[in-house]
Structure 1
């Protein structure tokens, strides 16, 4: 048996499992590695939990998992955001089972312990039965550390972790560019759909900056769009690139002219597929510059941004990955719209999302099939490697990190080097 296959925690050679141009197949299927990933990655770094628009008001909340631990993301009466472990301090029942909503407090359905929006234990039934042995101040819901950048909310179990801004590093400028899809309006998450696939979470992590698969896996999607759009999406071999941004983050630029959605608004023609929308916006009374700004935003950014370990800003939506087990992952595809923007423009945005990302769209089923096949194939050959060497000879250093052509596996190498750093820390 290959000496790199983990047998026990003491024997696991995490440094040897990740090399410059490949990673070992056991990263996809070893349960012990998965459990270690939860501790050393998901419970030890900044993890994305929400966009600010998902919890707009006091009492607004959503539930999500960080790794395998359930949390509640909530805004208190002072508009402060809290990320609370979704576990009553009495007998461990969850205090919230709704995906999202609005509330004044959280009450455990088992024994009635109630908590304020900031997690403070507010009351218990029949407190006299505890005598002097219950100090409510000692039993709040556990608060995680929370920081926010440009509407993106992150949480960490580590109170002494580096500031979020340092963790994001050069990725911040790409986040700023991505948020220009609001066309001057605030970004709003209008909804999401969730699905699971039978595969390891890192298989999906790799996909976000993988241009190489697009014309092969998404051939049916390309056959469903107009010729102008098909030419625009023929980016493999084009002038785009993938760049390692540090800390496991990376960006894949497929359409360089759509990096900054506000550049040359008046100089470039409106794509044919959006001409009807543009005219409808003019008819509503919008000035030509704003018409073009909105139309450009509806089409989405020309890049995918991967933020290690669990969130992607992908052209026109957020993709969140949530590990379930070593061989199962849940994906959340969240559509983003313009809060207060023209209804028709947001409808166009929804239809575009449904066309590719939606459960009956072209992209999601094809990607899911490919991911499942990777997991299935990983069961063959315990001593084999996952190759990540595409684009390596052309990789060059940049101010922000490393860069190679658009079909390179630079983003995957970036993520796995961060994985290696954290797993050997």
Structure 2
């Protein structure tokens, strides 16, 4: 056992101790102080569009059910029967009127209330069903993003998201006038600490190196679009550990620049869309298909990453699950959603040109961090020219590690003794 050091001793403004990726006692502390005392993303509104819809997922290490009751209210509940602790739902998603424990048949409503107990007379008055609902978490939603927390006294989601909210609104413009919807996902695990992946989504510095195979697979016009490390983009600290990395400034607001030339790779799609939609709407759809020009990191587990959701779940100190969730236009043209899926597969898919290379890099960080002792992880790129905007946000160039420093500042706040557990 490595023992639990003071988290403050592991982190400076521009570096972190390598043990943050491998100390199991520190990991246990993170699972408590971060994943039980912060807002954790659990679902998108489109995952449960109607009463009776549900999904199962996790908040940290805790299995939960996310359901929509008959009144349309969303609930997040521990997937644990109050009798003998068996999970009451094993399906990934579905529609139901109740959740029934397969062990002894205790039945719960969509709101978690205990509705039925077989042979209740055997309890001879010792069972009060009203006191034994499924354990519920606090739930709030912003622009389709559903979050939950074990901490009943946590600040409101509105306050927690704060300066990230305008960027969420921009990201959701990928619906091209229709609501955004999830369109399936793939998930995988990599043998590394969750914070390695948290860093990656705000790291533009690696892109031309790690993703050279992707750049070689696309046309010259697309290569030029993704040549952003020395461009006009930036990384900005949005508070509470959130950050945005703007890689392609002209694609930040998809409602703007509609008069720009349609990229050659979307010419055929535009021609097909033009059979059913006016020119301005065609251009809006095409821009949405290409995705937004930024990655938005929402501490600690969600990234709104250009054109998809990336969700991380710590499995152990040295293993992390990643979900890549494709998104599209709910009610939009099928050919546009199909085009988005093909782009998703090209980069994020298990046989794509992006994700496998990223996962290899994350694996190497984990293995390399075990070499030697008391060697720092550097977080100082862009620090020398970091500045503040009028609203107080710190920002630097697109390849700066400003977003990582933002996340680790929040990490330290959550892990400090003052944060409590």
Is residue 253 of structure 2 the alignment partner of residue 269 of structure 1? Answer: no
Question: What secondary structure, in the 3-state scheme, does the structure 2 residue paired with 1:140 have?
Answer: coil
Q: How far 1:379 sits from its partner (Å)?
A: 1.1
Aligned partner of 2:297 among 285, 293, 306: 306
> Residue 413 of structure 1 aligns with which residue?
405
Gaps of 5+ in 1: 1-5
Is residue 75 of structure 2 the alignment partner of residue 82 of structure 1? Answer: yes
Aligned partner of 2:103 among 101, 107, 110: 110
Is residue 392 of structure 2 the alignment partner of residue 403 of structure 1? Answer: no
Q: How far 1:7 sits from its partner (Å)?
A: 4.7
Q: 2:270·2:282 contact (CA, 8 Å) conserved in 1?
A: yes
> Residue 168 of structure 1 aligns with which residue?
161
Q: How far 1:397 sits from its partner (Å)?
A: 1.0
Q: 2:235·2:396 contact (CA, 8 Å) conserved in 1?
A: yes
Is residue 38 of structure 2 the alignment partner of residue 45 of structure 1? Answer: yes
> Residue 3 of structure 1 aligns with which residue?
none
> Residue 97 of structure 1 aligns with which residue?
90
> Residue 179 of structure 1 aligns with which residue?
172
Q: 1:245·1:400 contact (CA, 8 Å) conserved in 2?
A: no
Is residue 241 of structure 2 the alignment partner of residue 248 of structure 1? Answer: yes
Question: What secondary structure, in the 3-state scheme, does the structure 2 residue paired with 1:170 have?
Answer: helix
* Number of residue pairs matched by the alignment: 416
Q: How far 1:45 sits from its partner (Å)?
A: 0.7
Is residue 281 of structure 2 the alignment partner of residue 290 of structure 1? Answer: yes
Q: 2:250·2:257 contact (CA, 8 Å) conserved in 1?
A: no
CA distance in 1, matches of 2:54, 2:358: 30
Where do 1:309-324 residues align within 5 Å? Answer: 309-324=300-315
CA distance in 1, matches of 2:105, 2:384: 62
Is residue 58 of structure 2 the alignment partner of residue 65 of structure 1? Answer: yes
Question: What secondary structure, in the 3-state scheme, does the structure 1 residue paired with 2:135 have?
Answer: coil
Deviations 1:279-331 (A, max 9, x none): 10011x20101000000000000000000000000000000000000000000
Gaps of 5+ in 2: none
Question: What secondary structure, in the 3-state scheme, does the structure 1 residue paired with 2:338 have?
Answer: helix
Deviations 1:34-68 (A, max 9, x none): 00001100000101000000011111111111110
Q: 1:201·1:321 contact (CA, 8 Å) conserved in 2?
A: yes
Is residue 326 of structure 2 the alignment partner of residue 335 of structure 1? Answer: yes
Is residue 337 of structure 2 the alignment partner of residue 349 of structure 1? Answer: no
CA distance in 1, matches of 2:393, 2:57: 32
TM norm structure 2: 0.98
CA distance in 1, matches of 2:194, 2:206: 18
Q: How far 1:400 sits from its partner (Å)?
A: 4.7
Aligned partner of 2:22 among 23, 26, 29: 29
Deviations 1:383-412 (A, max 9, x none): 111100000001001215200000000000
> Residue 6 of structure 2 aligns with which residue?
13
CA distance in 2, matches of 1:324, 1:403: 32
CA distance in 2, matches of 1:380, 1:7: 15
Question: What secondary structure, in the 3-state scheme, does the structure 2 residue paired with 1:42 have?
Answer: coil
Q: Give me the CA root mean square deviation.
A: 0.8
Structure 1 segments (4+ residues) deviating >2 Å: 6-9
Aligned partner of 1:127 among 120, 125, 133: 120
